[in-house]
Amino acid sequence: MIGYQAGSDRDLGVVVGGTLSKGLTIRLHDPEHIEHMHAGDYVVVLGNELRYLSVITDLALKVTDEHLLANPPDDLFTRQVLSGTATYATVELLPTLALETAGGKSQILPVRSIPAHFSRVQRSTKDDFTAVFGEEDATHFCIGKPLDSEHDIYIDLTRLTERSNGVFGKTGTGKSFLTRLLIAGTIQKNTCANLIFDMHNEYGWQGVSEGSTGKRSVKGLKQLFGSRVKLFTLDRKGSDQRGEQVDGDIFINPSEIAEEDILLLGSVLNLRETAPAVLSALQRHYGTHWLSKLVFLDQKELDTVVEETGANKESVRALARALGPLRKMSFILWERSGMAEIQSAPITFDEVGEDVPPSPVAASSGASSQRNSAVRDILTAVQNGQHVVVGFPAKDDLLSYLLVVNLLTRRLREHYVTETNRSIASRQGRPRQIMITIEEAHRFLDPAVAQNTVFGEIAREMRKYGMSLLVVDQRPSAIDDEIVSQLGTRFICLLDDEKDVRSALSGVSGATRLQTVLASLETRGQALLIGHALPMPIAVRTRAYDQDFYRAMAGSEQPEGEQFQSSSFVSRMSRR
């Protein structure tokens, strides 16, 4: 029995049944121990050659004689006499992986067999978790502790950033803190660049923690990592009021906004079914100035547009009316609001540099007043080993959020495809791996639009180009099933809706039995972790985001010589 003595006090029970597909049934030696066992706890089943690390998925009370239930004993002495003989307790286990010990080292194996009858069951130990999840190193980051122990659980951040991932949970379960932990880990370990679209201004400068003592402020990524994080905003006034140290203001030129950026706003702007046809006609005829023409359309110009494009008059009028809210967006440099619009064609990535017309990102306070391309500034930061947080108006302006996130991501995707193909042809260094964090992910990955958006493409196909998504959402059932199935690692906090639970666990082996574990999570600070970056599913108490965490992140400046300057893109940028 691989290092354990028979009859050990650590024994909890023995295997009395089970199958490979449905799991194992364990009979406890002491039925009263059932109160100290919980769904999501881990135990080890000691086979003759393997140790099966298994998660508790269910618990049950059994009797040997059903007549006892018709006339249950009412005195303590009789109950104690019957306990363990006529009455007993069972635990359902799902083996998640097998450990084979050879030469003093444990080898992790997939579960392809089951232990024999009466194999002993014991609590898992620190050595078991270390053998499976490893220890702190250049790529492993502590994400929390198992629900029933104080052993650290480490996640492989290199494997995490290879694929797109998801953080799910209902409101108030700690999604934002878990997301901030993951991003902080990738920054500390330098495993990728990050572009974070911070819809609620929780990641950049500071966030808010809600606890038993009320609300308190916690440090954001900019405060933790200093110059390694660049903070851009669409709302300078709001950022100043919050005391944020902003690196730049994002401005967008109408000529940069494409038809697909507008169509993604369909549900928010209540666009008609005729909108795609009208948008295409306008783009073909007016080129990069189609949006300015449409947004400031008057009756005289309406007749001209209809005559020149052949579009239906009422459809054009309805589309212009629907796009009216765009006029109020101060970060869009409308020609008619007194700001000079770019008169040339949209910027392409080959043109980034001297030829970029003035506009989208305003320089930070005290810097040059020249306005550069938002995309160029973000790319420059990313490729130089920095991380970018884009802040939005504090009033939760969904329209601005959807427009800017889609536009910037689309342009970044174009860059990464171009640069990766170029590097393959020239055998030069590729662009740095980048992870894009988006909240309200179902807005971009809804089944009705996911097939046609840049986000659906990134989730399905952009791994080979070094791009991945970290989608954060409280409604995974609203995300396209194909996209959810492509997520490499999932971090699932408590979910109430059965549809959301099924969606979050779709494609996961043993999903039905893991639903019990998920349902047992506490309201805050716990999550079920599943997928590519972990050897096996595990429920954890997430790492505390406190002063100890701040100290652990301190001194995480970019290591010398790791600025990822091998990219041909950076080389061209530096020459300009």
Q: Would residue 64 count as lying in a domain?
A: yes
> 332: which DSSP letter?
B
Q: What is the pLDDT of residue 219?
A: 92
**The token pair that represents 186 in the structure block:** 């990738």
> What is the average per-residue pLDDT within 329-346?
54
At 109, the pLDDT band (50, 70, 90 cuts) reads: very high
Same-domain check for residues 122 and 266: no
Lowest mean pLDDT among 69-73, 252-256, 368-372, 421-425: 368-372
Q: What is the pLDDT of residue 211?
A: 58
> 73: which DSSP letter?
-
Q: What is the pLDDT of residue 329?
A: 87
Lowest mean pLDDT among 289-293, 340-344, 547-551: 340-344
Same-domain check for residues 166 and 128: no
Q: Would residue 345 count as lying in a domain?
A: no
Lowest mean pLDDT among 104-113, 321-330, 426-435, 439-448: 426-435
Same-domain check for residues 439 and 453: yes
Q: What is the pLDDT of residue 309?
A: 84
- Given 133, 165, 185, the domain boundary residue is 133
Q: Would residue 566 count as lying in a domain?
A: yes
DSSP per-residue string spanning 227-281: GGEEEEES-HHHHHHTT---SEEE-B-GGG--HHHHHTTHHHHT--TTHHHHHHH
Same-domain check for residues 389 and 527: yes
Same-domain check for residues 448 and 461: yes
Q: Is the pLDDT of residue 365 over 80?
A: no
Positive or negative torsion for Cα 347, 353, 356, 358? positive
Q: Would residue 2 count as lying in a domain?
A: no
Same-domain check for residues 197 and 169: yes
Lowest mean pLDDT among 165-179, 338-352, 506-520: 338-352
Same-domain check for residues 298 and 415: no
Q: Would residue 498 count as lying in a domain?
A: yes
Same-domain check for residues 318 and 277: yes
Same-domain check for residues 535 and 462: yes
Same-domain check for residues 524 and 397: yes
pTM of the model: 0.83
Q: Is the pLDDT of residue 94 over 70?
A: yes
Mean pLDDT for all residues in the chain: 83
Same-domain check for residues 26 and 69: yes
Domain total in the chain: 3
More confidently predicted of 547 and 380: 547
Q: Would residue 437 count as lying in a domain?
A: yes
> What is the average per-residue pLDDT within 20-26?
93
**Are the C-beta atoms of 224 and 184 separated by less than 8 Å?**
yes
Same-domain check for residues 448 and 326: no
- Using CA atoms, how far residue 135 sits from 156, 262, 491, 529, in Å, is 10, 47, 20, 17
Q: Would residue 359 count as lying in a domain?
A: no
Structural domain range at position 179 = 155-206+215-252+369-573
**The token pair that represents 62 in the structure block:** 């059994």
CATH number for 404? 3.40.50.300
Q: Would residue 192 count as lying in a domain?
A: yes
**The token pair that represents 446 in the structure block:** 């809804």
Number of neighbouring beta carbons within 10 Å of residue 417: 18
Q: Is the pLDDT of residue 345 over 70?
A: no
